[in-house]
Amino acid sequence: MLIDTHCHLNDPSAFPDAAAEIAAAKAKGVDRIIVVGVKPDEWAETVRLAESHEELFCILGWHPNYTADYSPDRLRELETLLQRPKALALGEIGLDYHWDYSPPEVQRRALLDQLGLAQKLEMPVVFHAREAYSDLLDVLEARPKRPYLLHCFAGSQQDAQRAAELGCYFGVDGPVTYKKAEDLRQILRRLPPDRLVVETDAPYLTPVPYRGKPNRPAYIPEIVAGLAAALGISPEECASVTTINAKRFFGSSL
């Protein structure tokens, strides 16, 4: 069994027929797909979509790029939805200094409040970080350790080492297949294999040989093959290891 641990199947402009995407993924051995609700007006619909398909699960959180209108009052709704059986983690939350959609101080307030909610609910957390790994890791290192996953990891070797010392998991996406991504592959080789999971982030970050087209959960086997080549193991072993890791992080219900 393969698991796409992070995708945006709830985006109707990219995926007008979710059932067809699920069927295409299952034909490629992808039996579980985790859909991400990144802002308040997506949360309820993301849960509804997950509850409508056996193969789907979800994570919910307030992505830093959507926090310009952040209000802690909305976290009551998030808390309620996170207690539904198909909701596996809080995320993706974090910091993003690449875009200026939301002031850093607002992003940080939303991050800290949601970390507090995750601690209250005893839930794992999935993070988004872009040009902000050092500040994010500063925050996490000052808190009690929890199950953390760095979605689409793209940090430095130093960032990876700090995150590994926190026991973080690392999401591996289409870039592992890119010719110019040797630095990423070298970092992945140095990480504990039992902390790696695969994800598409579909419709973004499409792997080779489909690069230039919208990404799909059905392309997880290409990401597994790229990660396997980077680690020097077989695709079958890589599939087994990353699936076991995903179940350990997200829970046995997956």
14-23 pLDDT, tens digit each: 999 999 999 9
pLDDT category at 125 given cuts 50, 70, 90 is: very high
Overall average pLDDT of the 232-252 stretch: 97
pLDDT at 104 (0 to 100): 98
Overall average pLDDT of the 21-47 stretch: 98
Q: How much is the mean pLDDT over the chain?
A: 97
Overall average pLDDT of the 222-247 stretch: 98
Backbone angles phi, psi at 93, to 5 degrees: -125, 170
Q: Is the pLDDT of residue 253 over 90?
A: no
Give the pTM. 0.97
How large a percentage of the chain has pLDDT more than 90? 98
pLDDT at 49 (0 to 100): 98
Q: Is the pLDDT of residue 252 over 90?
A: no
Overall average pLDDT of the 29-50 stretch: 98
pLDDT at 70 (0 to 100): 98
Each residue's pLDDT tens digit, 161-179: 999 999 999 999 999 999 9
Overall average pLDDT of the 101-116 stretch: 98
